[in-house]
Amino acid sequence: SSSALLQHITALFECSIAAIITLLISDPVGSLHIRSCKVKKLSDWYTMLYNPSPDYITTVHCTQEAVYPLYTIVFKYYAFCLVLMMLLRPLLVKKIACGLGKSDRFKSIYAALYFFPILTVLQAVGGGLLYYAFPYIILVLSLVTLAVYMSASEVESFKDLLVRKKRLVVLFSHWLLHAYGIISISKLDKLEQDLPLLALVPAPALFYLLTAKYTEPSRILSEGGNGH
């Protein structure tokens, strides 16, 4: 619906502005670039685990952010996202309230208030792991969410995909996400070798459409709804 689309656009705007502000206040201030320490190994993210204990008596707390500002910049970004959401989202909800039910008007805000603390804890605990694994996480999530969406929407052919524009928007969004994951893994160090990998972006969707007639997701969904 138009209300849902406006909420998605507003969320994208909030996140984009938060990212720009975060970059502008980071060193060097006023630039969209960041000056960071080089990451050499996973332990660089967890310096608190390496506080020395001379003679095994007193622990010297000399923890520093060895990967500055890659660790703390994420927390700043989440903080700006939260502030911008609290400033802008209520205005949007008030404007489109006529297109939303009373129980749906603040669901996006409530969801964010749950997710931001969860994301903050994940960054605090697993920042280093996410740094190394996020390209692969993105690829897996894009594949899983695309398969779940297409099966839930009972898309079993190219015709079903073209019936609604929303399905094409979702498909292209997953393709962008998949392409971003491939670029993140390859880092485009060798363009002549890495750019052809982007041709694999439509492969999961094509594989799903070509094999849907054998798996029959609509039958599986109907049986699942009947408790079988």
**Tens digits of per-residue pLDDT, 43-67?**
889 888 887 777 777 778 777 888 9
**pTM for the full model?**
0.77
Residue 110 lies in a domain: no
Q: Which tens digits make up the pLDDT trace of 155-209? A: 878 787 777 777 888 888 889 988 888 888 887 677 677 778 888 888 888 888 8
Would you say residue 224 has pLDDT above 60? Answer: no
Examine the domain organization and report whether 137 and 92 are in the same domain: no
Question: Does residue 125 form part of some domain?
Answer: no
Domain extent, residue 58, equals: 1-100
Number of domains in the chain: 2
Residue that finishes a domain, picked among 57, 78, 100: 100
Residues 78 and 2 both lie in one domain: yes
In 3D space, the residue among 170, 126, 128 whose CA is nearest the CA of residue 148 turns out to be: 170
Same domain as 149, residue 201? yes
One domain for residues 136 and 94: no
End position of a domain, from candidates 53, 77, 100: 100
Same domain, 87 and 24: yes
How many of the other CB atoms lie within 10 Å of CB of 208?
19
- Listed in sequence order, the residues at least 6 apart from 25 whose beta carbon sits closer than 8 Å to its beta carbon are 76
72 in any annotated domain: yes
Range with the poorest average pLDDT among 47-51, 107-111, 218-222, 224-228: 224-228
Do 199 and 142 share a structural domain?
yes
The answer on 150 and 63 residing in a single domain is no
More confident residue, 9 or 21: 21
Say whether both 65 and 15 belong to one domain: yes
Q: What value does the mean pLDDT of the chain take?
A: 83
pLDDT at 23 > cutoff 90? yes
Output the pLDDT for position 173: 87
Q: Among 61, 54, 69, 109, which Cα is nearest to 85's?
A: 109
- Within 13 A of 34's CA, how many CA atoms are on the CB side? 19
pLDDT in tens, 124-163: 999 999 998 988 999 999 989 988 888 888 787 878 777 7
